[in-house]
Amino acid sequence: MKKYLGILARVLLLALTLTGCDRPASTASAPDPGPEAFSVTLTDDAGQTLTLEEVPERLLSLAPSNTEILFALGLGERVIGVTDFCDFPEEAQEKDKVGGFADPNIEKILSLEPDLIVAVSGLQDPVVERLRDEGFNVFVVNPTTVDELPGVIRRIGRAADVNDAADELVGGLEDRIAAVREKVAEATGAPSVFYEVYSEPLMTAGRTTLINDVISVAGGTSLGSELDEAYPQFSLETLIDQDPDVYFASTGSMSDPKDIAERDGWEALSVSGNDRIHVIDENIINRSGPRLIDALEQFAALIHPDLFE
Amino acid sequence: MSKSVFIPALGLALLGALVLAGAVGAVRVAPSEIISASTAWLFGAESLSASQFIWLKVRLPRIILSAIVGASLAISGTALQGLFRNPMAEPYIIGVSSGGALGATLVLMFGEGLMFLSLSLPVFAFLGALAATGLVYGLSRVDGRVSTTTLLLAGIAVSSFVSALISLLMALNGEDLYSVFFWLMGSFSARNWGHVQMILPFFVIGSATIFFYYRELNVMLLGDDKAAHLGVDLEKARPVLLGATALLAGAAVSVSGLIGFVGLIVPHIVRLIIGPDHKTLIPAAALGGALFMVVTDIIARTVLSPTEIPIGIVTALFGAPFFIYLLRTRRRTIG
């Protein structure tokens, strides 16, 4: 059992690219860089201070979400390595692979000689420590709410010396988040939402997860929002009893999400009769990259269809 | 305690546990709702209220399923212990359940094109369990005898190898990776009447076969020489019994994933109380297994409600210390 639990934990993290670690306050404090002299000091989400005296040219991403951020910042050309799971944008797949998410190949990473490694916290902590010991510049990101995402992107942009691109990208994302908030504020209530992580056993996303925050910003109340565990098994009895207004499943949920309404037991849910079961692309909701805001907009429109017509 | 008291007492305890299991859950269902739901079920219902539905379509099948799985695992463990003439034989410990899990994993990963998933899952789990049982049996039987050391070593070897195969399959199929892991944890979460239908024929055939061979199981305790004197041909009985234990363990795995230690704890306690005669041991173990599983599932689904604890964790919390206790206290008698 212990073995399975260990692997389960790894697998969860692998699949969801989310971590529930302590999140230190992140501050960016870059002195105004002159046109020639580049020097930036940043604090990452692991609480570590990173000082870069030269513009990092060779960038390595250790998570699909980070890869998406780097490419969205227009840094695709400078990315020299990604993980096996980095499949977006398509160009990312042509980069050198450093292995899996939980267990990237240290030798491969060394051979690529990256100037800056963008990692995530939690599962990758041991890898990060190892890479720091080797003297690499490692920047750890771990947004746990929608509102932390712009700050993360801005700091990555600052580290890579693409402040303008970061401002533009972040500005756009912030506007879209604000627009969702504004629309949702018109709603009279927060419909109850169930998010299915997995069906047998039935699992949902708990209070500490980014998914839970996305649902909340999108104007819904997740049934998982009262649970402390990140990905708890959820009682089907409670699901039927609470009868959520909207039901989400990701494409990664094991049983074919299109058949959810026809599952034994699920026919008692109101959502089974009124087309309010929705399947979300797991890669946009599980990755804390720019596309998370796509997920936010989709959630908001599906939770409050009347407001987003 | 005498057999004539113990078995009815177990039956009553199981009944009590079933009633308790029906009464408690994440959602409170009033007794009147339960009665009306039951009559609705018996006499054909109009429309069910939410709590009637929860009781009838969610809680009840889950309770029944956990009872059947518990009985299957306990009978399977009882028969394995007789077959191996060794008290440490248990489907989970010696890799039979892992074999079943391998079969089921293959179906879950590649079985999308298969026509009858509800049938192919237990069938493949059975084949996997059968292969693992045969392998462990062949490896651990030396001169007609199975010592605890060889049994546990063979079990470890087979179950590690099979687990490695499962892990390899998952590594090669990154997409489906985590789904199978959740499933392997062992759970009765969100199970329904379909699962009960799926396991029932396997349970009936497997347990009836094993009970039918209770004399042979008794004679096996004496050894092959004495069996020959008594005119019992054990070489015919063995493959049938191996098949039946694999059938039960495989069917259990296919509906509930890997649940360990039930087949170890229950037959042991029952044997301590009423002795080794399989005629009474098998039905008593069946009742005891059902009782243990229903009770552990009550714990799994109510303690942290509405969060559920994977039941494999609950049974391992009870089972692993018990296993260690057995190893220590019985060391002299099972070498």
The answer to whether A15-178 and A187-303 have equal CATH topology is: yes
| Per-state percent for chain A, helix, strand, coil, to nearest 5 | 40, 15, 40
For residue B176, which residues of chain A lie inside 8 Å, CB to CB? 254
pLDDT surpasses 60 at A6:
no
Percentage of residues of chain A with pLDDT beyond 70? 86
Bridging pattern class, strands B307-308 and A233-234: antiparallel
| The pLDDT of residue A2 is above 50 | no
Q: How many residues does chain B have?
A: 335
Q: A119 is written with which tokens?
A: 């990692």
Residue with tokens 């504020």: A185
Question: A265 vs B58: CB contact, 8 Å cut-off?
Answer: yes
Measured between CA atoms, the residue of chain B closest to residue A205 is: B307
Where do the H-state alpha helices sit in chain B? Answer: 3-23, 31-43, 50-53, 60-84, 96-110, 117-140, 148-172, 177-184, 193-212, 214-220, 224-229, 234-256, 262-274, 278-302, 311-329, 331-334
Q: What b/e string do you get for B108-120 counting C-beta neighbours within 10 Å, with b at 16 or more?
A: bbebeeeeeeeeb
- Which residues of B fall within a CB distance of 8 Å from A286? none
Tens digits of per-residue pLDDT, A159-206?
Answer: 999 999 999 999 999 999 999 999 999 999 999 999 998 887 889 999
Q: Report residue A252's pLDDT band, with 50, 70 and 90 as the boundaries.
A: low
Q: Kindly report the backbone phi and psi dihedral angles of residue B236, in degrees, each rounded to the nearest multiple of 5, phi listed first.
A: -80, -35
Closest by Cβ to B182, choosing from A14, A198, A240: A198
Query: Count of CB contacts below 8 A, A vs B?
Result: 119
Q: pLDDT at residue A25 above 50?
A: no
- Fold designation for A187-303: Rossmann fold (3.40.50)
Let me know if domain A15-178 sits in CATH 3.40.50.1110: no
Chain B: closest CA distance from residue A279 (Å): 17
pLDDT at A256: 63
Nearest to A289 by CA among A150, A101, A93: A150
Chain B residues touching chain A at CB-CB below 8 Å: 25-27, 48, 50-51, 53-54, 57-59, 163, 167, 174, 176-179, 181-185, 187, 189-194, 258, 260, 301, 304-310, 312-313, 316
Backbone dihedral angles phi then psi of residue B224, each to the nearest 5 degrees:
-65, -35
- The pLDDT score that the predictor gives to residue B306 is 83
- ipTM of the complex model: 0.78
- Residue-range domain boundaries for chain A: 15-178, 187-303
With respect to CATH, is domain B69-334 assigned 3.40.50.300?
no
Question: B314: closest CA among B262, B236, B247, B249?
Answer: B262
Q: Is A254 on the interface with B (CB under 8 A)?
A: yes
- The larger pLDDT score, comparing residue B235 to residue A254, is at B235
**Residue A254 confidence (pLDDT) above 60:** no
Q: Does residue A16 have a pLDDT over 50?
A: no
> Which stretches of chain B drop beneath a pLDDT of 70?
1, 44-46, 111-118, 174-179, 330-335
Q: Which of B194, B307, B310 sits opposite A234 (nearest CB)?
A: B307
Instruction: Compare B89 and A157 and report the one with higher pLDDT.
Output: A157
Classified as helix, coil or strand, B232 is coil
User: Which residues sit opposite A192 in a β-bridge?
Assistant: A221
